[in-house]
Structure 1
């Protein structure tokens, strides 16, 4: 599998010239789960601002922090749970039997529960600052720092179309057919090379993973219906990606339209 040993991160600018980051790191594909010999590569369209690259780094650093937090929660859950449970029973026993007073039972339960929760949170905080957690953060952030970005000429053209759609400010904005047609011809010519075609497939999958399944299915059906109508001679039946409200929906719909009559396989990189 050509793409099984690499992961791609995409950086595009929308119609307001704000950076739009699309990366594969989610529940099914964490940074730490990627083999050390696998390449993580970056692709961008127009030359990004320094602030945009800093945003990419901070976004991926945030993914690392979340991944380490979940990793520690998973590996230290049982000790923290048992210690918190022990604190609950000790506090409850002291309030119920060791200290004779008029505190109602419900208050004793509340105080014991609060002590147990506090213990759990304190232990969780200490776990995040422990040596294993800090070492894992350092290793994963070094992996992020090694990511190299390069420009893709096809993404430059795709970005120009995306900017006109996402910056139009109206749902009826039409796709610039001259740019769209030229990009489609370029991609068809690139089929033998597979480079840009693979990037487009990966970008479509990652955008699809960002969408809610129902929203993704709704867009797929709309694009398929539009393509069938166009094939039947209804020239004004094309769906404009500008009708969608978010950048990920607009870009996903644009790529689905772009791929609709290209001989591209649906196989994409596996997590």
Structure 2
């Protein structure tokens, strides 16, 4: 069943089948009930009502930048998949449930919101953001940048954080070409050869670390050793370059000002 409307405030309800609910341009409340429902989100005031027992693959299609953490109603919604629609560079934030969040072909900012999330950037130069809630569930989450020059970034409120990337498997972070430690300052990333080899897309020969004075990168040797390989200017920024004896042809670029330990 397909339901649509155009009033300022609507309450649309589906049935126990698989429904497509589109309230139109206003701030709508959409109820899917049972079945695998699709919700069209085109207003920041839209609310979804979907419980854990109501469908196995409910989808929210975003035509605007939207956060499921922006109000209490959407924080508890059980929507398994969130899709950014169209071709605009939009942002999406899930809630504290396990969401699959999918970007489009533009440069999107994706944030899980907590829970066992899967972030799929798709095309474009995407930014996958990690805050306190996301760090708590990294062991059960997956961040895939997709094509383009994609960034794994600490959120702006993250300060004094140790992001130990060596604690996670090779498939937790993929398609990531940049790691941005800036956040709120004084953050540290712990890296080994696995991140240099497996985080960037196939065919990419460098992993870039961005940050400010006070941020740091801890290099763990693992099998082989790290060595300084001079400096390099890349896209207008100066970097210290590091190579690993077990990763021929690969480079780690650390923005100058970031401490390497």
State the TM-score, normalizing by the size of structure 1: 0.20
Does 1 or 2 have the higher relative contact order (CA < 8 Å, sep 6+)? 1
State the TM-score, normalizing by the size of structure 2: 0.21
Structure ranking higher in helix proportion: 1
Q: Which structure's CA Rg is the greater one?
A: 1
